[in-house]
């Protein structure tokens, strides 16, 4: 149970830190942190939790990562479901805390987005469904390659959290304008249930595409990273 608890609180921190920065700080007055700040916030949540709980649970914080690690031969199938449940519950708890905080501001409209992921009219840059699908698949594929490579026994030891955290930062810098960046079904679910409406209707994409991308990334790394 300690592993599942670690995944719960780790995912809680990812959603509260990442989505919280987007909802509360991105456009605050004249000192908002903007796209760069939000990207760094997501990367920092993973970096800090990787050092805090990586030795307990592996610090997946993401159903797509768990599936990708399984596909890459690094994670047992029997633990997939408990990990995913723990991650989604942690994300929902963080979404609830953020909802309580945000709605105490006069005039706050949760239906405007609440850091939810979307495409079409709900893409920050107006990108279509095909663009969102390709973006989420490719970004998650690269994320899994970074994770598998950085945690390979042949890689420099002790630096994996830095590579993974900066990798997630870069992914957000690229793809926030397209989908608001998911690459993580738990992160998407944790805020979508509070935004409701369109966010729930479009949530399917942010489960399908990251999981598909993670599996592809695992297969690619198994090919390029194999030893003779």
pLDDT in tens, 94-136: 999 999 999 998 888 888 789 999 999 999 999 999 999 999 9
Please give the biggest Cα pair distance in the chain.
Answer: 62
Whole-number Å distance between alpha carbons of 143 and 168: 7
| Model pLDDT for residues 131-163, shown as the tens digit of each residue | 999 999 999 999 999 999 999 999 998 899 999
Average pLDDT value for residue range 188-203 = 95
User: Which band of pLDDT confidence, cut at 50, 70 and 90, is reported for residue 228?
Assistant: low
Burial class (CB in 10 A: 0-12, 13-18, 19+), 43: buried
Under a CB-based contact definition with an 8 Å cutoff, are residues 153 and 177 in contact? no
Under a CB-based contact definition with an 8 Å cutoff, are residues 7 and 49 in contact? no
Under a CB-based contact definition with an 8 Å cutoff, are residues 146 and 171 in contact? no
Average pLDDT value for residue range 168-178 = 97
pTM of model > 0.85: yes
Under a CB-based contact definition with an 8 Å cutoff, are residues 183 and 139 in contact? yes
User: Which band of pLDDT confidence, cut at 50, 70 and 90, is reported for residue 183?
Assistant: very high
Average pLDDT value for residue range 14-42 = 91
Nearest to 164 by CA among 97, 68, 25: 68
Name the least confident of 12-26, 27-41, 88-102, 209-223.
27-41
Domains and CATH numbers, the chain: 2-224 (1.20.1080.10)
- Mean pLDDT of all residues belonging to the chain: 94
The secondary structure of residue 120, as a DSSP letter, is G
């Amino acid at each position: 149970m300690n592993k599942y608890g670690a995944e719960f609180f780790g995912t809680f921190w990812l959603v509260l830190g990442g989505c919280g920065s987007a909802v509360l700080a991105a456009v605050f007055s004249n000192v908002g942190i903007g796209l760069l700040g939000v990207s760094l916030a997501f990367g920092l949540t993973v970096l800090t939790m990787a050092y805090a709980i990586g030795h307990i649970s592996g610090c997946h914080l993401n159903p797509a990562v768990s599936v990708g690690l399984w596909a890459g031969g690094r994670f047992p199938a029997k633990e997939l479901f408990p990990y995913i449940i723990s991650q989604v519950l942690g994300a929902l708890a963080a979404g609830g805390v953020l909802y309580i905080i945000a709605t105490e501001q006069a005039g706050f409209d949760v239906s405007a987005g609440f850091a939810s992921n979307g495409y079409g009219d709900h893409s920050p840059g107006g990108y279509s469904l095909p663009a969102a699908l390709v973006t989420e698949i490719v970004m998650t594929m690269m994320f899994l390659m970074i994770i598998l490579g950085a945690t390979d026994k042949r890689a420099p030891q002790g630096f994996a959290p830095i590579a993974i955290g900066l990798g997630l930062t870069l992914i957000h810098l690229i793809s926030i304008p397209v989908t608001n960046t998911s690459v993580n079904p738990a992160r998407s679910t944790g805020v979508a249930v509070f935004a409701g409406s369109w966010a729930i209707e479009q949530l399917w994409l942010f489960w399908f595409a990251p999981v598909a991308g993670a599996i592809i990334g695992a297969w690619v790394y198994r090919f390029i990273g194999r030893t003779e």
